[in-house]
Chains A and B, each alone.
Chain A
Amino acid sequence: MIVATSGVLVTTGVVVALVRPTFDFFRAVSVTEFLGTTAWFPLYEPPDFGVWPLVIGTFSVMLVAVIIAVPGGLAIAFYLNQYASDRVRRNLKPILEILAGVPTVVFGFFAINFVGPNIAAKIWVFSDVGFYSALSAGITVGLMILPMMTTLAEDAMAAVPRALIEGSYALGATKRETCTGVIFPAALSGIIAAGVIAMSRAIGETTIVLLAAGSTANFSFDIGQPMQTMSSFIGFAGLGDQPTGSTGYQTIFAVGSLLFVITFLLNMLSRRIVSKFREVYE
């Protein structure tokens, strides 16, 4: 019984852990500066505390990742659901599971040694891509969450009643038409929920971004540039030892709160969507 409550403790613990130092942070740093300015150099002398570069960085990486993972996950899910033979399915699913089990730090290595030089640098025509870039990080994060998105989308599709699918074929529709015209709309709430979870995961990713996107909090929309995200900043700050109670230390918590709030809201959103738009087939 005592043991069971520990699960509850953790969530409340997260909130409690974040609240106090965040509070302290905002006593030292005005909210206007935090949300209103665009230079983020909290560990410099003199420090700047405009959080926007981190937010833009986070959403840039997330956008690239989602552009790869969501259509990709849907595509593979459609393939598994309507097109793949048993033999293909039996071989493809383990590959996806293995990919899902690869630790993020290994993906980070992959980003630096392959994706960055060979892909990001080659495809980005708008600017010169250096060693670190949000693009490289975004692509790699997208590849990392691809298996998860596939699994979630496939679960949503598998829940579509077979009668609907047969009804579609019985009207002479092709596989493609059944996928886009019947399965997709019928599985929509599950697919959207999956997409939101993918977004949330991409926002929270630390290690890959730390390795691939660098530690410059660039206030820029050019994803060929190095960028820092909220998560990678926290990691970066943590690497350098911050004395307890210092503003630098508190910055970790302030940004952490922001991160927690964003992902928490996204997860709530995902659950609302599922319950509100769940198709009822009765």
Chain B
Amino acid sequence: MVEDMSNATISKTTGGSRQSDSVVRVNLSSDSQSNSGKPQNEMIMQSVDLQVHYGDFLAVRDVNLTIHKGEITALIGPSGCGKSTIIRCFNRMNDLIPTAKVGGKVFYKGIDLYGPEANAGEVRRRIGMVFQKPNPFPKSIYDNVAFGPRVNGKPTKAETDELVESSLKRAALWEEVKDRLKQSAFSLSGGQQQRLCIARALAVNPDVLLMDEPCSALDPIATARIEDLMAEIKSEYPIVIVTHNMQQAARVSDRTAFFNTEIGANATRPTGVLVEYDTTRKIFANPSDTRTEQYISGRMG
């Protein structure tokens, strides 16, 4: 099956064509069934041959993705296939792990995140992250949201007040907390805490929002609220979300990347690979790779 590569870019790997079944398919061409005629959204981030080693262990390899404005991109797959590892490459959080080595490239608006021109702090400000378990600081609600702006600049009290209010509004939390901004963040419920963390991330005005299984610690109602929130803000903040919940991926995302594990020739532990990356409709309705199909039907059938 030859793929049309018109709009996507693929790395220049080890020469030769890559036609085997285990190869990444990045099919984002305009004549795919779901996207007929519609122009592509502008690409904002791209990974090229991204791979991560923890010491000698190759955790995930050959990840070629593109992230587009106005969209939600979901990373799905079984445990241990490297989805979290990959998303953490997008804001250089893997720098914090001494044994982690990132290979390949990640581009943000054309600039290599790991290149000499990029500063890690600035990267993280532009590319925000929300974590699996809500992790508010032991401070007041106000101070949590204000933390990012305060370290990244010297806003006046008025500016901070404004930022806090607008961020909380964007995270759909303002109405619930506006009368108790000075209370501890821990007085909020789990779902509220997670929206607080979203507000906190939005307060520094990022260009992309990364979410690593943001709803896995929440009950279904809180989850639904966050999914609604995501749909609301995606036009302003493109989102990349890692999720174990396939229904969620199918519900909220515009594109989906399916990861799987495989054991390499000389390896003892499975390495994650990107198997298929396409529009969500295609992945779920008519996946190109059998492995994708097995995973989807196994989990949803």
Chain B residues whose CB sits within 8 angstroms of the CB of A193 once the complex forms = none
Is A223 positioned at the interface, with any CB of B under 8 Å from its CB?
no
Which of A169, A174, A177 has a CB less than 8 Å from the CB of B96?
A169
Residue on B nearest A185 in the bound complex, by CB: B138
Q: Is A279 an interface residue (CB 8 A)?
A: yes
Cα of A236 to Cα of B200 in the assembled complex, Å: 60
In the bound complex, do residue A161 and residue B121 qualify as a contact, i.e. CB atoms below 8 Å apart? no
Q: Is the CB of A167 within 8 A of B204?
A: no
The yes or no answer to B137 lying at the interface (CB within 8 A) is yes
Contacts of A172 in B (CB 8 A): 121-122, 124-125, 148, 151-152, 204
A181–B147 Cα gap in the complex (Å)?
Answer: 8
A185 touches B125 (CB 8 A): no
A150-182 interface (Cβ within 8 A of B): 161, 163-164, 166-174, 177, 181-182
B135 and A166: CB pair below 8 A? Answer: yes
Q: Within the complex, what minimum Cβ distance (angstroms) separates B141 from chain A?
A: 15
Residue contact B148 to A185, C-beta cutoff 8 Å: no
Distance A57 CA – B197 CA, assembled complex (angstroms): 51
Contact-size category for A: 20 to 34
Residues on A with C-beta less than 8 A from B201 are 170-171
Contact of B121 among A163, A164, A173 (CB under 8 A): A173
Contacts of A171 on B, CB cut-off 8 Å? 124-125, 128, 147-148, 151-152, 200-201, 204
Indicate if A45 sits at the interface (CB-CB under 8 A). no
Task: Decide if A280 is an interface residue (CB 8 Å cutoff).
Answer: yes
A166-B125 contact given A177-B151, A186-B137, CB 8 Å threshold? no
Indicate whether B139 reaches chain A with its CB closer than 8 angstroms.
yes
Residue A241 at the B interface, CB < 8 A? no
Q: Are B137 and A170 in contact (CB under 8 A)?
A: no
Q: How far is the CB of A111 from chain B (nearest CB, A)?
A: 40
B194 → chain A, closest Cβ, in Å? 12
How many residues in B have their beta carbons less than 8 Å from beta carbons of A? 26
CB of B174 closer than 8 Å to a CB of A: no
Q: List the A side residues contacting B186 at CB < 8 Å.
A: 280
How long is the Cα–Cα vector from A170 to B96 in the complex, in angstroms?
10
Whether B129 contacts A173 by the Cβ 8 Å rule is no
Q: How far is the CB of B105 from chain A (nearest CB, A)?
A: 21
Nearest CB on B from A274, distance (A): 15
In the complex, what's the smallest C-beta–C-beta distance from B154 to chain A, in angstroms? 13
Q: How far is the CB of A168 from chain B (nearest CB, A)?
A: 7
B291: Cβ under 8 A from any A Cβ = no
The residues in B between 99 and 155 inclusive whose CB is less than 8 angstroms from any CB of A are: 121-122, 124-125, 128-129, 131, 133, 135-139, 147-148, 151-152
B222 partner residues in chain A, CB cutoff 8 A: none
A186 neighbours in B (Cβ, 8 Å): 137-138
* B131 touching A182, Cβ below 8 Å: no
**Contact at A166–B93, with CB atoms within 8 Å?**
yes
A168:B129 contact, CB within 8 angstroms? no
A172–B119 alpha-carbon span in the complex (Å): 10
Contacts of B85 in A (CB 8 A): none
Q: Contacts A171-B124, A172-B151, A172-B152 given: A185-B93 contact, CB under 8 Å?
A: no
B124 near A279 with CB under 8 A, answer no
Query: Provided the pairs A164-B135, A171-B128, A172-B124 are in contact, do residues A181 and B151 lie with their beta carbons within 8 angstroms?
Result: yes
A196: min CB distance to chain B, Å: 20
Taking CB atoms, residues of chain A closer than 8 Å to B128 are 170-171
Asked if residues A173 and B137 are in contact (CB atoms below 8 Å), the reply is: no
Q: Does B15 interact with chain A (Cβ within 8 Å)?
A: no
For the complex, is B91 an interface residue (Cβ under 8 Å from A)?
Answer: yes
In the complex, the answer to whether A164 meets B137 with C-beta atoms within 8 Å is yes
A174 touches B93 (CB 8 A): no
B298 interfacial by beta-carbon distance below 8 Å:
no
In the complex, which residues of chain B have a beta carbon less than 8 angstroms from the beta carbon of A164?
A: 135, 137-138
Interface residues of B in 143-179 (CB under 8 A from A): 147-148, 151-152
| B:183-209 near A, CB below 8 Å | 186, 197, 200-201, 204
Point out the residue from B135, B147, B197, B204 that lies within 8 Å of A161, measured CB to CB: B135
- A163 in contact with B131 given A86-B98, A169-B93 (CB within 8 Å): yes
List 6 A–B pairs whose Cβ atoms lie within 8 Å, in order of A's numbering.
A161-B135, A166-B135, A170-B124, A173-B121, A173-B151, A185-B138
Instruction: State the B residues within 8 Å of A (CB).
Output: 91, 93, 96, 98, 121-122, 124-125, 128-129, 131, 133, 135-139, 147-148, 151-152, 186, 197, 200-201, 204
Closest 9 CB pairs of A and B: A172-B125, A163-B135, A171-B148, A170-B129, A167-B135, A172-B124, A177-B151, A173-B151, A172-B121
Known: A167-B131, A167-B136, A170-B201. 5 other contacts (CB 8 A): A163-B135, A166-B93, A170-B124, A177-B151, A186-B138
